[in-house]
A and B are shown apart, each in its own frame.
Chain A
Amino acid sequence: MLEPVNVSLESLNLVTLAPMLIAIVGALTILVVDLVKSGLNKTMYVMLSMLFLLLDFGSLVDFAGFFAQNGTILGFFDVMLIDGLAILAQFIIVVGAMMFLPLSLTSKRFHEYSYPEYYALFLFTIAGLQFMVSTDNLILIFVGLETSSLAIYTLIAMHNRSKSFEAAVKYFTMGALAAGFYSFGAMVLYALSGSVEINQIAAVLSADGYSNIGYVLVGVAFLLASFGFKLSLVPFHTWAPDVYEGSSAAMAGFISIVPKIASFVVAMRLFEFLVQSGVVWLEVTLYVFVVVTMTASNIWALVQNDVKRMLAYSSISHAGFVMAALIIGTTQANSALFLYWAMFSFTNLGAFAMLWVNREKSLKYGQNSDHQFERFSGMVHTMPLAAVMMGLFMLSLAGIPPFGIFWGKLYMLGAAVSGGYTVLALIMALNSAIAAFYYLKLIVFMFLKEPDEQAHEKYMTNASLSLKTIIGAAAVMTVFSVFAVNPLLEFITSFVYNSGY
């Protein structure tokens, strides 16, 4: 007979679930409100979601304080693992979500924003991602990942036009394949170690000295393929441009930032111990991935005709850049990852919001995508302020100091150099130069070309006050980020360091 299990409630550390539960409760609340009274205005839902996200954020602040004092928190039979990485990642996830959510307050009417389910799914996504980062159990990671992914597929499709369906289907199908990879990889590791918890796996593997290196590598290869999909590493990136193009700009921005940071954290947990324990193959492979991803996506971004697609490739490239942290593996590098991503999120938010603001319902004659470069030509004459802001975002993305991303880049390159990866640092730096070309392309269109005769008035079709506020805030953050870097860096470094990375 099975013995009854006595579990004290305290040892469960139920509180570790708080942030995710808040998001889930938020989602359910929205669904319930809709059941009680349907047809409410979207603004209500947006603000409701914002409130829950704020609560979520508050609980994270609480955790951060707790972590700073007591270190890593385990909960629920050690399934939940709230360490510095988890807290940092959740901060980025929640803040990113809070930034992108108000983009639904458009003046134009879009399909997805008219339905409360959108907001519920949005919150579910957040919850899923939060689960994903705050555990080292492969099962929970998988479930969290799928929760968020399935919600995102739906969110993309809810934009409701044929391109968004196409994007959702592509994303979904490839996601299903990646899920297969993930489960296979997890299976191999489980077969090797008898455990699905990363620290256990690491312990077991190092205990027998990686004697079954072939198995390990097969498992890692599968997991790498799976996270390569999530992190859009070449050649697993092919979904990214299409999905970005097909989804609404706001959604695209969200996808480019929030889910990725979750995947980064998981990748850090999964791969870094392997790199550290001298699995040369993984180091080399990651090196190749980083270089190829950065370079190839930059090269493809060069030839894009659509700003959104260009930004998609650029996001791939940035992801590749950040992946370098996994190879370097020092505290500095891991801190740089978070710093970079925090800076990147502001800027990318601004850039995508800008696209969102000038979104029109129908395509003009001769266009086959929403944000062709021609649309932006001569923008500085018609809308100087908007053009300047977009220009700032582009400069920041290109890594021109003193704008946001530069500091991330600087710190990451610094980490690479300090870690002894000077050649990698050079490659990364030179890639920024390639990337500068396509960011400049937009600047060239906005500032150096004459405006298109007809297109004058329609830039801000979709703008509303809240959108403008967000863009303005993003611009301010981008410009004055230098003052935020130091506190941020100290905060991040202490968290990363105390988590043992």
Chain B
Amino acid sequence: MLDNILSILIFFPALAAMFGFVVAKDSIRAYGVTVAAIEFALSLFLWYAYDPAVSGMQFMESLPLIPAFGISYLLGVDGISLFIIVLAAFFTLIGIASLPDMKRMKDMILTLLFLQMTMIGVFAALDAIVFYVFWELSLVPMLYIIGAWGGPLRIYASVKFFLYTFTGSLVMLVGMLFMAYFYHQATGTWSFSILEWYRLILPENIQLWLFVAFFLGFAIKVPMFPFHTWLPYAHGQAPTIGSVILAAILLKMGTYAFVRFSLPLFPDASVFFMMPIAVLAIIMIIYTAMVAYAQEDIKQVVAYSSVSHMGVIILGTFALNVEGISGSVFLMIAHGVVSGALFLLVGVIYERRHTKMMSEFGGLASVMPHYATIFGVMVMASVGLPLTINFVGEFLSLLGFYQQSHMMTLLAGIAIIVGAIYMLAAFKKVFFGEVTNEKNRNLPDVNKRELVALIPLVIIAIWLGVYPKPVLGPINNSVESIVQLMHEKAVTEEAKARIPDLTSTIVINEAKEETK
């Protein structure tokens, strides 16, 4: 069981979805919830069985797939991917559980299960091609979800989403092939295993090119400025569940890939591009926050805020030290929880009013107090209040990057200001003031089904904000090994200097322990 748990995690939902074609329409929700619950339980089991003290890959599975070209079915998790997998399982569960009644419910649930397969596959894959397979495959169910259940511009939005990300990842594919070719040159055998690739030390100029190729794929997925414009459309048009999964999990693929590929494979290039990327990240943070402020549609606010926060994740990743990377990985989870919850929340009023324009609302705090409370909690989490989940990530990310550049961090720190501006402004428009629109006067408060989704998120948002250790610990271990790897692999002097050498600090830490 434990040996193949990752495969089970990946293919169980897909298999269940296949069987699900037979299930009658009226029972499909129960079926979906059950499957997702089992999957979630499995993912929790994975977490339980995961040894947090080990920094490397665990639950490895390996099966030669195309040995002639070095492609193998290679899976494994470490502290970085573990929690995103759990999160993916979790969000699928609550996504299905809180699904409002809609047309073609069955298709939706089955699509979600397929999507789950691809999501978990991406985070569990350790072979570049297997990774790529799931990475691309995840576009398909999302295309369907946005395109079939979305708003009036849904087709434009979904196709744009698909093509944009597809284009980026094709460039990435070429990069992967080049990497494999380089490996072939160096060792004489083909391999797409990331772990094998880690062992290669590349000359700097090659690193730069490869970094750019990978970057394009990842950056569009994240999405980084100026490749972000598909996102507002995708979110704006997607049904609630689509936005939730997109924001919570799919966007993480990009940032996760930075940590998994770009940093350890190309340490020198990472250092070389650190500042340009930081500039992009800062533009992302501030610019999109301002754009978010200008929005009239509450969902667009959340969408742009999502981009803005992703900027912080990127910044943390390119801090290239343990604090920053741990922070950014943690922020991935945090952002998943928070923006997922915000999209769910927006879905709640959309479900009732079928509009997302903020001008249509106002004074909802008195009509829907519970709703307003939960929304308020999530807004506060989103603006990064301490003791909420986001703060831990943002704090560590910014803290990490501060070591690299003071001014940049100062600029990036504006995030906490501009973030508050648009979030509070939006909150004010929707919830405060008198109820001006008669249609809003008798809106029912959140119902049980919605609470099922929202309450756990609130709990997580606060629990991990107060006590992040169970998550941060394993992340930290794995990140440390990555940073150490980067340091050892770095070719240039600058990179050696920029990326901390942990072996020296470990000694200090031990000394610290002794003094305690």
A binding-site residues for B, Cβ under 8 Å? 380-381, 395, 398, 400-402, 406-407, 410-411, 413-414, 417-418, 422, 425-426, 429-430, 432-433, 436-437, 440, 443-444, 447-449, 482, 485-486, 489-490, 493
Contact = CB atoms under 8 A, between A and B. Distances in A.
Contacts of B166: 398, 400, 432-433, 436
Interface in B180-206: 180-181, 184
B140 A400 contact: yes
Contact of A414 (B64, B154, B177): B177
Given A436-B163, A444-B159, A482 B65 contact: yes
A489 B177 contact: no
A411 B140 contact: no
B173 A447 contact: no
A489 B68 contact: yes
Interface of B: 64-69, 104, 107, 129, 132-133, 136-137, 139-140, 143-144, 147-148, 154-155, 158-159, 162-163, 166-167, 170-171, 173-174, 177-178, 180-181, 184
Contacts of B139: 400
A485 to B, nearest CB: 5
6 contacts: A417-B181, A436-B162, A437-B159, A447-B144, A448-B154, A489-B68
Nearest to A448: B147
Given A417-B178, A436-B166, A485 B173 contact: no
B65 A422 contact: no
Contacts of A447: 144, 147-148
A437 B144 CA distance: 15
Given A411-B69, A489-B68, 13 more contacts: A398-B166, A401-B133, A401-B137, A402-B133, A413-B177, A422-B174, A429-B171, A430-B170, A432-B166, A447-B144, A482-B65, A486-B65, A489-B66
B68 A493 contact: yes
Nearest to A392: B140
Contacts of B148: 447-448
Nearest to A415: B177
B174 A413 contact: yes
Interface on chain B toward A: helix, strand, loop, or mixed SS? helix
A430 B171 contact: yes
A317 B147 CA distance: 27
A433 B216 CA distance: 14
A414 B181 contact: yes
Contacts of A433: 163, 166-167, 170
B181 A486 contact: no
Contacts of B178: 417, 422
Contacts of A422: 174, 178
Nearest to B185: A418
Contacts of A482: 65-66
A418 B129 CA distance: 16
Given A436-B163, A447-B144, A400 B173 contact: no
A395 B140 contact: yes
The list of the 9 closest CB pairs from A to B, nearest first, reads: A448-B147, A401-B133, A433-B167, A429-B170, A417-B177, A486-B66, A489-B68, A414-B177, A402-B133
A426 B65 CA distance: 25
Contacts of B140: 395, 400
Contacts of B180: 414
B174 A429 contact: yes
A444 B147 contact: yes
A486 B68 CA distance: 6
Contacts of A486: 64-69
Contacts of A489: 66, 68-69
Nearest to B129: A410
B112 to A, nearest CB: 15
A485 B167 contact: no
Nearest to A491: B68
B158 A448 contact: yes
A358 to B, nearest CB: 21
B236 to A, nearest CB: 16
A402 B10 CA distance: 15
A262 to B, nearest CB: 26
Most buried by A among B66, B133, B140: B66
B66 A400 contact: no
Contacts of A411: 69
Contacts of A426: 171, 174
Contacts of A418: 177, 181, 184
B173 A429 contact: yes
A171 to B, nearest CB: 34
A243 to B, nearest CB: 29
A440 B174 contact: no
Contacts of B163: 433, 436-437, 440
B164 to A, nearest CB: 9
